[in-house]
Amino acid sequence: MRKTFLYLVFTFLPLLSISQFFEQKTFDIGNLGLTLSNVGTVGQPNIRNNPSGPPSMEYPMNSGIEHLFEGGLWVGAVVNGQIRVSTASIDAPYGYFAGGNGFEFTATGPITTKSSQPSSDFYSASAIAHQQFRCVTTDSNNVVPGTSIPISNHDFPLKVVSDLNGYAWNYSFADFFVIFDYEITNHSDEDWDSVYLGIWTDLVIRNVNVTQDAGTAFYNKGGGGFVDSFDAIYAYQVNGDDIDFTQSYGAVQFLGIEWRDLYYHPNNWKLKADSGYHIAVNGNFWNFRTFDGSKFGAPEDDLQRYAKMKNGLSFPDPALDAPSNKTQLLSVGPVPEIKAGEAVNFVIAFVAAKQLKYMTNDEDSREELNEHLNWAKRTYIGEDVNENGQLDVGEDLNANSELDRYILPEPPLSPKVKIISSNQKVDIYWDESSIHSLDPISKKKDFEGFKLYRTKVGDDLDLNLSSSAKLVASWDSIGNDIGYNNGFDAIRLVQPMTFKDDPTEYIFHYSMDGLLNGWQYLFILTAFDEGDKELDLESLESSKVENSYSVFIGSAADDGGSQEIGVYPNPYRVSASWDGVTSRTKKIYFYNLPSRCEIIIYTLSGDIVRRLEHDADFYKGDDIQWFSRFSGSEKRVFSGGEHAWDLLSENGQTITQGLYLFSVKDYSGNIVKTGKFAILK
């Protein structure tokens, strides 16, 4: 079984003289959760054993569908006639560990964070994306800095300094990829010749919330391929016990190289035709740690790794559609030379998408993957519409006389939302900030309307709530050919609404009745614009992740003591309809509770089974596993008068069937109410 260990790291490069821990940060602003470490590794190798921890490469967020064991940068070059390859990660059974063979990059400092969103704690006017991490690493050390641990088989480093900027957005049309822009500098005093740059990955698509597979059985269900039109290597799940809960693609895509005054992408042959240089994009798969010298054999040393970077497989390859445990390498080169002190930019994207046809890998199945790869490419290209690396007439969208990449059209701002859950009902309030949004490309206030999505009862057990949410209501401007032209009168309040400790003025309101208490409903409210026919921009919609709320319908807090406190379902028979399959993913609800109280469950003989503390202002269900497994959203909304219990005792044991008593002590007035309920199995 592959697993990972975390180590203390170190004193870094002498020029920084900083000492700190091994660090990881997760891109989680959008619908793709991707973890990066300050030693340059990507992913969370222990995700199989710890699915409730940070995601590895999860898509959609909170679905449990993971796409990556681990990955990292590879740099290969010829130095004075000798081949050298430096790797941030290789196919190691336990993932990263300090000094491990193949983990040759070390940190030079912490991961830094910026955001282009003014509401973010990390807002910076210089930020490019909604979430931006910078990570600087080097392969220059033979020993892990600050320790006496030698880095295995790393006697001849290239002396790379890798300055990585990672970019993620929350737009609904751009929340499924993360772009990595590496600036690779030759920090040695020797020139590099015939340089190859690559990303090694162990893409493993499994639903870690569902699968019971462990060890080899967890990893050997993968298939893969290569998308020539987008220079992307991808993997998918062929079979397995969780196949009905997965059906997804994970991919790594090459976006471009910038070297000296030249730009290379397969759609732009300048390096090849004008300069006489030939650069190719190569894709490779090999069997995990199978060193047999075959086409799918794993490389053992620098010579073999360089050969893999230099020579790709021919695609399509039918062997890749058979389930197996293969890793991937996407490489580009050769860059003819990188002189001492010189740098090159190497840009890739991690991309995820649904597999549209059940257990089938064909063009129709990959339609969404191609769409997502196209958006990642479009984002990187920015103003460089013809991909020639130059600012041509008509391309300067922001009129700054510079070629800007990472430019996306912007939908309206996400409205600020307030949701109130009550007995069989939900009330949704939102502000008018979206209406005043200015598109940075068209320079117009192009707001068109709002859309409300909702899941139905039981969708949470499918583990893919965001994808299950369906449009239930829409309101848009009158007087054009977009949408329903139904206007906003039905939702506009006569007077703005405000709430305690919240200065926001809420202008719009929508309520929905007839909902079922105890069940989870995912509500999503977005704003969309009218698009721009002159600029060939379709209507764009704000982030579905930003305004995604897991709402639990139930009784409001009863601080007057006028309502009887009870339990449902009562009796509880074997399991409730919302329960998971494990003993730790079950729940029953206490209802009509005071805002702050203590709940004590007893046996008939008076023995205490469990104590629960309830505070309506802070309750998020975090004391039981059901919510972390089926409601990963941090934006959970409860009614205030309900508290779930997982039928486990104080010491975590499953209780037996029988009749139980409970008492509820109201902290505000020391009033105690009692009741009983039955557990039947």
pLDDT band at 651 (very low <50, low <70, confident <90, very high): very high
Task: Say which range, 347-356, 535-544, 601-610, has the weakest mean pLDDT.
Answer: 535-544
Name residue, tokens 């700054």.
Answer: 400
Give CA torsion, residues 81, 86, 90, 95, to 10 deg: 150
pLDDT score recorded for residue 535: 63
pLDDT score recorded for residue 383: 86
pLDDT band at 57 (very low <50, low <70, confident <90, very high): very high
pLDDT band at 164 (very low <50, low <70, confident <90, very high): very high
Q: Is the pLDDT of residue 636 over 80?
A: yes
Asked if 451 and 541 count as a contact pair (C-beta separation under 8 A), the reply is yes
Most confident of 14-23, 244-253, 396-405: 244-253
Cis peptide bond upstream of 110, omega within 30: no
The contacts of residue 148 (CB under 8 Å, 6+ apart) are none
Q: Which whole number is the average pLDDT over 43-53? A: 91
CA angle 173, 472, 616 (to 5 degrees): 90
Q: Enter the tokens of residue 590.
A: 């206490």
Q: Enter the tokens of residue 656.
A: 């037996």
Q: Is the pLDDT of residue 9 over 50?
A: no
Instruction: Dump the DSSP string for 201-246.
Output: E----EETTT----THHHHTTEEEEEEGGGTEEEEEE-S-TTGGG-
All structural domains of the chain, each given as residue ranges with its CATH number in brackets, are 24-381 (2.70.98), 417-552 (2.60.40), 566-680 (2.60.40.4070)
pLDDT in tens, 493-512: 999 999 999 999 999 999 99
**Better-predicted residue by pLDDT, 633 or 476:** 476
Q: Kindly state the percentage of the chain with pLDDT values over 70.
A: 96
**Cα–Cα distance list, 534 to 403, 502, 574 (Å):** 21, 40, 61
Q: Compute the radius of gyration of the chain from its Cα atoms.
A: 27
DSSP 8-state symbol, 150 = B
pLDDT in tens, 280-313: 999 999 999 999 999 999 999 999 999 999 999 9
Q: Which whole number is the average pLDDT over 590-619? A: 97
- Tell me what the pLDDT averaged over the chain comes to: 91
pLDDT in tens, 310-355: 999 999 999 999 999 999 999 999 999 999 999 999 999 999 999 9
Q: How are beta strands 566-568 and 131-138 bridged, if at all?
A: unpaired
Identity at 487, one-letter amino acid code: G
Q: Single out the residue of 22, 93, 483 nearest to residue 325, CA to CA.
A: 93
How many Å apart are CA 637 and CA 553, to the nearest integer? 8
**Better-predicted residue by pLDDT, 681 or 324:** 324
pLDDT score recorded for residue 631: 87
- In this prediction the pTM is 0.81
Q: Which whole number is the average pLDDT over 582-606? A: 95
pLDDT band at 2 (very low <50, low <70, confident <90, very high): very low
Q: Enter the tokens of residue 624.
A: 């039981």
Q: Which whole number is the average pLDDT over 523-552? A: 87
How many Å apart are CA 567 and CA 397, to the nearest integer? 60
pLDDT score recorded for residue 580: 86
pLDDT in tens, 391-402: 888 888 778 888
Please, which residues bridge with residue 239 across strands? Answer: none
CA angle 12, 300, 73 (to 5 degrees): 40
Q: Which whole number is the average pLDDT over 442-454? A: 90
pLDDT score recorded for residue 4: 34
Q: Which whole number is the average pLDDT over 179-199? A: 98
Asked if 64 and 253 count as a contact pair (C-beta separation under 8 A), the reply is no
pLDDT score recorded for residue 536: 65
Q: Which whole number is the average pLDDT over 244-268? A: 92
Is 550 strand, coil or helix? strand
Name residue, tokens 């001492």.
Answer: 340
**Better-predicted residue by pLDDT, 6 or 154:** 154
The contacts of residue 664 (CB under 8 Å, 6+ apart) are 565, 590, 593, 594, 597, 598, 599, 600, 672, 673, 674, 675
How many Å apart are CA 434 and CA 527, to the nearest integer? 7
The contacts of residue 106 (CB under 8 Å, 6+ apart) are 9, 10, 12, 39, 137, 138, 139, 141, 144, 145, 151
